[in-house]
Structure 1
Amino acid sequence: MNRYERLNTLLEILAERGRVEVDEIAAELDASAATIRRDLDHLAGQQLLTRTRGGAVAHAVSYDLPLRYKSVRHADEKQRIGKEAAALVARGSVVGLNGGTTTTEVARALATRGDLPHVEGETAITVVTNALNIGNELAVRPQVKLVLTGGVARPQSYELIGPLGTKILDELTLDITFLGVDAIDPVSGAAAHHEGEASINRLLAARARKVVVVADSSKIGGSAFARICGIEDVDVLVTDVDASEEDVRRFTERGVDVVRV
């Protein structure tokens, strides 16, 4: 287990249990007590937990892990999902992308597609996003016309949220939007943990002719605080091969095409 994986696991355990002890967690993660102390000190410095004598207790933000820690979870699955989803985009399309680790993989796959080369005077694709990290990666790609929505930056996800972003989206029409979600269910639809993200993600979906949810199988059947859109608004779900046949059946019965990679 590398350091980022260990830090991520520590935060997840802390979010679940509320408190951890150094000796106990060192044994559980097969690491030395000194290593765990350094990890806890590092996370405390990031204001992600509160150190106690012999351990740590959960800080509120631990329940919403920053993107840099989320990126190590299901990394291989997210890369496969991103590549498969990017293949759905035709040259000349206007593409919407919200923030998240899986949509970041979609953006990377789009930027490196061999059949979307830069041609002088032409735009291969236009990307509209509220994600600062995706904007940063695509800004240097000459074949991509990049539009940022504007808004107030949310540090955990690098997403721009709030009414400033909605003003721009109200004026645009998208061919396809890729939505990263915190949860998706065939009954309740797609959802996010933060209401501000859900609001602008809802508009990204509403402005698109086609909505594709990109989510690894751990997000299926879960729940989150704020609704993004109903399942009737989702055209395609791209997920990984660990999604069960029963889950696939429930989505297809609601009119959603499911792709497992």
Structure 2
Amino acid sequence: MATAYSTSTVAELGGSPKRSRRMAGILDTIAERREVSLAELAEQFGSSAATLRRDLTILADQGLIVRTHGGAKAAGSLAELPVALRDTRAQDAKRRIARAAAGSIPRERYAIALSGGTTTAGVARELVNHADLTIVTNSLSIASLAAPHPRLRVVMTGGILRPQSLELVGVLAEGTFSAINVGTAILGADGFSAEAGVTTHDETEARTNHAMVAKAQHTVVVADGSKIGKVALAQMTATENIGTLITDDSADPDELDRIRSAGVTVIIA
């Protein structure tokens, strides 16, 4: 399970793009090594000790790491990055994937479901010029992106808010998805492999997204190459339920072949 953190400092966690990338990199390094020194981080990131101390203080205050004498170590699982830091990763690939996904949606009256995530949020940004489109989502971020555009109709689920992902989950969210028929579900993922299917870090989020996929005529997974072949804690849906995967050329080609062999159309954006 990922460590929870307070939403009151999400903006502080993100900061400037450069700082966000550095902090995401710090979390990656600590997740890999379990413990690092300030000197090692300074050499890796080319930042001053004072700057890194401030970064580590913010991350420690949110329960994401534990400060040590002269460095930091992992606090539980670091598998799930805070939503404020996720958009710093694979930005170009995510934009290409989002454009490809949005381009596959018919421009006539249509209903789509969008799960939370930075790549699906990119799809929402690309859909703002569509007319008579209904977006069904449990993501506060996606609803906020779509709401200012009068030609988009937004249906928001109920549910319990997960601060890590800013998504509504649980029986209320599942009930909304189960009551609505959509043409296409666009599903973000923390992992997608032919054997394990589409997975995420939180089991409640997985159940909510499973309900979304179950009522869709067609399901599209949007995931950058780093997610392909990875397996997270909880399955959202099996590979056999996926119609299309849109990813980028950094994805493991052998795993893509296995996914194709399971009947999924693979698009490299």
**Partner amino acid, structure 2, of 1:160:** L
Q: Distance in 2 between matches of 1:211 and 1:166?
A: 17
Q: Where do 1:80-229 residues align within 5 Å?
A: 80-90=96-106, 91-111=108-128, 113=129, 116-117=130-131, 124-229=132-237
Query: Which stretches of structure 1, 4 residues or more, deviate above 6 A after TM superposition?
Result: none
Alignment correspondent of 1:39: 55
> Letter of the aligned partner of 1:130 in structure 2?
N
In the alignment, the residues of structure 2 paired with residue 133 and residue 60 of structure 1 have an alpha-carbon distance, to the nearest angstrom, of: 26
In structure 2, distance between residues paired with 1:63 and 1:184: 15
Deviation at 1:48, TM superposition (A): 2.1
User: Residue 238 of structure 1 aligns to which amino acid in structure 2?
Assistant: I
For 2:137, give the aligned amino acid.
T
Higher mean alpha-carbon deviation, 26-35 vs 54-63, is at: 54-63
User: Quick check: 47-56 or 206-215, which moved more?
Assistant: 47-56
Equivalence for 1:121: none
Q: Which runs of 5 or more structure 1 residues have no equivalent in the other structure?
A: 118-123
Matched to 1:84, the amino acid is: A
Is this contact kept in 1: 2:110–2:183, CA < 8 A? yes
Name the TM-score, length of structure 1 as normaliser: 0.92
Instruction: Report the counterpart of residue 233 of structure 1 in structure 2.
Output: 241
Q: Structure 1 CA distance, aligned partners of 2:256 and 2:38? A: 41
Q: Which letter maps to 2:193?
A: D
Q: Deviation at 1:65?
A: 1.0
Q: Following the alignment from structure 1 to structure 2, what is the Cα–Cα distance between the partners of residues 48 and 23?
A: 20
SS at match of 2:240: helix
* CA displacement 1:166-212 (0-9 Å, x = unmatched): 12222110100000011111122111111011001111111100000
Q: For residue 26 of structure 2, what is the aligned residue in structure 1?
A: 10
Kindly provide the amino acid, as one letter, of the partner of residue 148 in structure 2. V
One-letter amino acid matched to 1:49: I
Is the CA contact (8 Å cut-off) linking 2:158 and 2:173 kept in structure 1? Answer: yes
The alpha-carbon distance between structure 1 residues 35 and 211, as it changes in their structure 2 partners (threshold 3 A), is: same
Q: TM-score normalized by structure 2?
A: 0.90
CA deviation vs aligned residue, 1:128-159 (integer Å, no higher than 9, x gap): 00101111111111011101111000001111
* Equivalent position amino acid for 1:8 in 2: A
Deviation, structure 1 residue 50: 2.2
Work out the percentage of aligned pairs sharing the same amino acid. Answer: 38
The 2-side partners of 1:159 and 1:196 are apart by: 11
Q: Work out whether residues 245 and 266 of structure 2, in 8 Å CA contact, stay in contact via their aligned partners in 1.
A: yes
Separation (CA, whole Å) in 1 of partners of 2:161 and 2:110: 26
Amino acid at match of 1:43: L
* Alignment RMSD: 1.4
Correspondent of 1:55 among 56, 71, 81: 71
Give the Cα–Cα distance (whole angstroms) in 2 for the partners of residues 61 and 242 of structure 1: 25
Q: Distance in 1 between matches of 2:140 and 2:31?
A: 26
Residue 70 of structure 1 corresponds to which residue in structure 2?
86
Residue 70 of structure 1: CA displacement? 1.2
Segment of structure 1 superposing worse, 93-102 or 22-31: 22-31
Q: Cα deviations across residues 64-115 of structure 1 (Å, max 9, x unaligned)? A: 211111110111101110010011111211000000111111111111x3xx
3-state SS, counterpart of residue 220 of structure 2: strand
Contact 2:37/2:72 (CA < 8 Å) preserved in 1?
A: yes
TM-superposed deviation, 1:61: 6.0
